[in-house]
């Protein structure tokens, strides 16, 4: 398996623009997580899907952020409009779920810079 795939790997945009980050989880995994990592706040969970359904979006910073999972093999995280404080590395992770031994597998991340 190719692992969790994220695109783009790097994104530079100007304040006010819409940004869409994409994630393809590992086939057969039914949980998907979006995280944001910054030096100041560390790794923060933004939203968690189980069987394509958003379970907890309490980590989404504000209404400018939205996430979708239209099917088991694809998810998007959208920021509209983007702001400089959104600059961070965004990770997607997937997990088979269920058993205590199941681990999350992380993608390589998308480094977002908002100018």
Partner 1 sequence: KQEVTQIPAALSVPEGENLVLNCSFTDSAIYNLQWFRQDPGKGLTSLLLIQSSQREQTSGRLNASLDKSSGRSTLYIAASQPGDSATYLCAVRQVKTSYDKVIFGPGTSLSVIP
> Which residues make up the interface to partner 1 (CB under 8 A)?
4, 33, 42-43, 45, 48, 50, 55-56, 91, 93, 100-101, 103-109, 111
The least CB distance from residue 80 to partner 1, in Å, is: 25
Which pair of structure tokens corresponds to residue 71? 């099917």
Measuring CA to CA, how many Å separate 97 from each of 23, 51, 90, 94? 18, 10, 21, 9
- Identify the three-state secondary structure at position 6: strand
The least CB distance from residue 35 to partner 1, in Å, is: 8
Q: Which is nearer to partner 1, 4 or 112 (CB)?
A: 4
Q: Which is nearer to partner 1, 64 or 105 (CB)?
A: 105
Can you give the C-alpha Rg of the chain in angstroms?
13
């Amino acid at each position: 398996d190719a692992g969790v795939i994220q695109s783009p790997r790097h994104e530079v945009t100007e304040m006010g623009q819409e940004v869409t980050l994409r994630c393809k989880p590992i086939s057969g995994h039914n949980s998907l997580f979006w995280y944001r990592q910054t030096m100041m706040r560390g790794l923060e969970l933004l939203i968690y899907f189980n069987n394509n359904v958003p379970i907890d979006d309490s980590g989404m910073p504000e209404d400018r952020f939205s996430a979708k999972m239209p099917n088991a093999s694809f998810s998007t995280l959208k920021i509209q409009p983007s702001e400089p404080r959104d600059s961070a590395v965004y990770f997607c992770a997937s997990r088979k779920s269920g058993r205590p031994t199941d681990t999350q597998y992380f993608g390589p991340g998308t480094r977002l810079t908002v100018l």
